Amino acid sequence: MKQHMSTLLVLTLLAVPTTLAQAQQPGGQAPAGQTRERAARVAILNVRQAIISSAEGKQASAELQSQFAARQTELENLRKQLQDLQSRLQNDRVLSDQERVRLSREFGQLQRLFQRRQEDFQEDLNQAENEVVERIGSKMMEVIDRYARENNLAVVLDVSGQGAVVYADPSVDITQDIIRLYDQSHPVSTTRPAQQPQTPGQTRPQPPQQQPQQPGQRPPQR
């Protein structure tokens, strides 16, 4: 999930029109110094950290690990087989030419299989992660907007990316506040049923079929 948290939710500017509107209302004008101070209030937020550190984000991460555990194990086994074959081809000095050709062919087939499985695994994982980010991120934006308005923030900068903010005082970091408010607004259920992971190509078990009754055969007694 680390590759997509910072790219899908880039919160660059979150303006608060109510702050500026109050400064423009006749009869309700604040002192000039106070208006400039409120209008210049800036906060930083690590959106990626807020998503993965929320209770819902942690739960979703655990579910993804469980969902893709079998495929991850399969890739690790294929990688181990490739390493063993490569080591044998490089270090076994008594292999015949025919055996070496056979092992080289087997290594190439296994390598192509590993690459296909790895690409499919990464594509499916990326899609699942994107769905999690979009689901949590859309709700988190509402929390961020409400927090900014209630605290008279003019700008909120996302520091998840690289190079966007050169320096920021830690006192203006609202990440932990957003995590706390998000968990309060969207509590997770502790009784959520765990997903049953399936291995690639695994089919659901079919109910046993009844054998046709032979002519003259009595039905079984219950």
Q: Is residue 192 part of a domain?
A: no
Domain that holds residue 7: 2-24+31-185
Number of residues that this document lists for the chain: 222
CATH number of the domain that residue 72 is part of: 3.30.910.20
CB within 8 Å of 89: residues ≥ 6 apart: 95, 100, 103, 104, 107
In-domain check, residue 121: yes
**Residue labelled with tokens 């997903």:** 195
Domains held by the chain: number: 1
* pLDDT tens across the length of the chain (222 residues): 444 444 333 333 333 333 333 433 444 454 444 444 444 589 999 999 999 999 999 999 999 999 999 999 999 999 999 999 999 999 888 889 999 999 999 999 999 999 999 999 999 999 999 999 999 999 999 999 999 999 999 999 999 887 678 788 889 999 999 999 999 999 998 765 445 444 444 433 444 444 444 444 454 554
DSSP-derived secondary structure letter, 193: P
219 in any annotated domain: no
The answer as to whether 46 is a domain residue is yes
Model pTM score: 0.63
Contact 61, 52 (CB under 8 A): yes
